[in-house]
Chain A
Amino acid sequence: MKTKIAMTGAQAAAEAMRQINPDVVPAYPITPQTPIMETFAHFVANKKADSELTRVESEHSAMSVAVGASAAGARVMTATSSQGLILMSEILPIASGLRLPIVMNIVNRALSAPLNIHCDHSDSMACKDFAWVQIYSENNQEVYDNTLLAQKLAEKAELPVMVMQDGFITSHCVEEVEILDDEEVAEFVGEYNPEFSLLKDNITYGATELPDYYFETKRQQADAMEKAKKEFIEVASELSKLTGKEYGYFEEYKLADAEFAVVAVNSSAGTAKEAVGSMRKKGKKAGLLKIVLFRPFPYNEVGIALKGKKIAVLDRSESFGAIPPLCAEIKNSLSGEKVQSYVYGLGGRDLTVQEIESAFDDLMKGKIDNKTKYLGLRE
C-alpha cells in the first residue's frame, strides 16, 4: 500500500533511511544536509529506527566509521554535502576499494571558495571517479525511490552508492511523496548478511598491495562498476513492481521525435520539462534527456537515445580548463552529433525556463560550437 505524505527532499531521504533501518549511521551536520540527520535523529530518539547513530567529530570520521562498521558486517548509511564530502574524499576510494556497500545521500552544494551554501554539483562531480555508483534525483519522490534502490544495488554490486539531490531546491522544499509500507521496504531490501565480516571471519581488510597485485584489484572494481549497470536495471525492475513507477538509466521526456534535446541532472530537469513543453507549444520539436545513473555511465544507451539530434548539455559544475563533466560524458556517448555545452546555476543561481528556451533557440539557429556557454551569468 502506498501513502502520500508531504515532505521535503531531506525528509524523503530520512524516511527511506528509517524504513531501511540501517545498523549504523555516522552523522555530522553540514548545511544543507543537516535536516536529513536531524530527522533521522528524531526517528532514533523515538525508536522509529533502531540504528546506532554515531555523532562523530567530522565528516572524515563519519566515512571512517562507515568503513569500519560496514567491514564489520553492518548496514551503513550516511549523508553529507559540499565541504563535508570533500573532507571525506580521502576515505571514499577506500570504501569502494574495500567493496563496502555504504549508501550516502548527497545534498548537492557548491564548493568553497568563495563560501556558498547553495546548490551546484561541484561536490558530487568531484567524486565521480572514486568507484562509487552515482544516482541523481529530480525531486523528492525520486530521492525516496532512489535511496531504496541504492541500498539494494549497493549490496548486490558490493559497491558504495551516492544518491544526489539539489541543496535547498529539493532538500528544503515540500512536495507530495508516495511512501511504501515499512514491511514492503523491509522485504525489498531484505536482511543484510555479507559473505565476510570482521565480526565473523579471521580476515585482513585494507591490506597493502604492491605492483604485483594492485592493478588486478582495480580491474575487479572496474568490472564491478560495469556489472552494476545491469544490476541497476534488475533492482529497478524489482522496485517498479512495488511502486508502479518506471526507472531507467535516464528519463526521456518528449525525446523520441525531438530534433533538439537538452540534457540535465537533478532538479533542473524539472525546469527543462517546462521549457520543452513551452517549445512544443510553439511547434518546436524539443525534448529532454534526464540522466539518473551517472556512474556507471550508460554510454551506449545515451548514444542511441540522442542519435541524430542537436544537443545542449546543462552542467551545474565546472571542469575548469576542460569540458564540464556531464557534457564530457554526453560527447563520449555520441558519434558526430553536434553538442553545445552550457554551465548554469553555480552557487545556487536560479535557472529559468526562459534560459533553457534560449538554449533551444541556439540549437535551432545552429549556434553550436566547442566553447562552453553560460546561462544566467553577467558577462
Chain B
Amino acid sequence: MTTFKEIALKEKRIVSGHTMCPGCIVPPIVRIILAATDKEVVAACATGCLEVATTIYPRSSWNIPFIHNAFENAAATISGVEEAYTALRKKGKIKKEIKFIAFGGDGGSYDIGLQSLSGAAERGHDFVYVCYDNEGYMNTGNQRSSATPYGASTTTSPVGSARKGKQNFRKDLTEIMVAHGIPYVAQASPSHPFDLFMKAKKAFEAKGPAFINVLAPCAQWGIKQDEAVEIADKAVKSCFWPLYEVENGKYKINLKPEKKISVGEFAETQSRFKHLIHDNEMLEKIQKNIDEKWNHLINLEMEK
C-alpha cells in the first residue's frame, strides 16, 4: 500500500519555479497524478493556466517530455504521440514502455476541446485524459464556460439587475465520457488526494482511454489562497462534486457523506455565489439539481 510519504518522496515530474497563482491547486493535482505511475510518461497540455505558467521559455517546469499544441486539441495531440509510439515500437525503434497523458482545463475539455477528446476516446488510444475543472475560463480572467455552475457570477455572466450570474446548469462531462464506453472514468477532488492518486493509478493501468475529471477550486471563485482544499472538500460533502468512478461500465461512489451539507454551506464560501445566499429560489433550484443528480448516481451504482 502506497503511503503519502512515498508519494511525496517520488521524483517530481512537475517542479516548482512556475508562475501559477499563489495557492493554485492545479500543480499539486498534476504532481499527485504523475506520481501514480513509475513508467515513463509523455504529457500533452491544452493551452491554459497550466500550460502557459509552466513553460515560459527558456524555462520549463516539466521534468518529463511535454507537448503543447493548441487550445482544443490536447487529446488529438496525445493520440498522435501514442500512434507514433505504436508505429515505432512495431518497427523496433522504441523498446521501453511509455504512458501517455493529456491535461486540459474545463475550457479545453468541456467546450472547445470536446470534439478532440471525444474523437480520441472513440478511437481507443491508450492514454489518460485529465480535466482540471476550475469551472470557467480562468486563464483569460474568469469567463463562463459550460462547466460554470448555475448561478455563478463570472465576467461574462455577471450579476446585474435583470440576470444573476450564469443562467444554465453545467454540462456533465464525466457522464459524457462514461457514454463513450471507455475502460475507466472517474471524478476526483484534491480534498481527497489519496483517492485521486488511486484513480490516477487505475487510469494509467487501464488498457485504452481513461478520463479523470478533477475539481480545481480557483482564486477567481472569490476564495482565499489557502482555501482550495477546504472548498473542494465542501464540494464533495455537499454532493455538488461526487467522488465516483466507472470501471468498465460499473459505477462506484467512493464517498457517501454521512451528513450531506447543504449547497448554501458550499456556496457561502465563494464570492462568485454571494448574490445567491439570500436568494432562496435560486438556492432551492440548485439544491434540487444536486439532489436529483446524486440520487441518479446512487441508482446507477445499484444498477451496475
Binding site for B on A (CB under 8 A): 23-24, 26, 50-52, 54-58, 60-61, 64-74, 76, 90-91, 94, 198-210, 213
Contacts and interface: CB of A to CB of B under 8 A. Distances in A.
26 contacts: A23-B83, A24-B80, A24-B87, A26-B83, A52-B87, A54-B79, A57-B115, A60-B72, A60-B116, A64-B70, A64-B77, A64-B80, A64-B116, A65-B79, A68-B83, A69-B84, A70-B80, A72-B88, A73-B88, A198-B84, A199-B81, A202-B65, A204-B60, A205-B66, A206-B51, A208-B56
B267 interface: no
A51 B63 contact: no
Interface of B: 42, 44, 51-52, 55-58, 60, 62-70, 72-73, 76-88, 90-91, 93-94, 98, 115-116, 118-120, 122-123
A202 B62 CA distance: 8
A376 to B, nearest CB: 40
B69 A206 contact: yes
A202 B64 contact: yes
B76 A56 contact: yes
Instruction: With a 10 A CB-CB cut-off, give which of A50, A58, A64 has the most chain B CB atoms.
Output: A64
B115 A61 contact: yes
A204 B81 contact: no
B97 to A, nearest CB: 11
B90 A24 contact: no
Contact of B58 (A50, A203, A213): A213
A56 B56 contact: no
B119 A68 contact: no
Contact of A65 (B60, B80, B118): B80
A73 B116 CA distance: 22
A64 B85 contact: no
A241 B253 CA distance: 68
Contact of A207 (B68, B98, B118, B123): B68
A67 B86 CA distance: 16
A204 B84 contact: no
Given A60-B72, A61-B120, A207-B68, 14 more contacts: A50-B90, A57-B115, A57-B118, A64-B69, A65-B76, A68-B67, A72-B42, A76-B84, A90-B70, A198-B84, A199-B94, A206-B67, A207-B57, A210-B56
Contacts of A76: 80, 84
B81 A71 contact: yes
Contacts of A72: 42, 80-81, 84-85, 88
A65 B77 contact: yes
A206 B78 CA distance: 13
Contacts of B64: 202
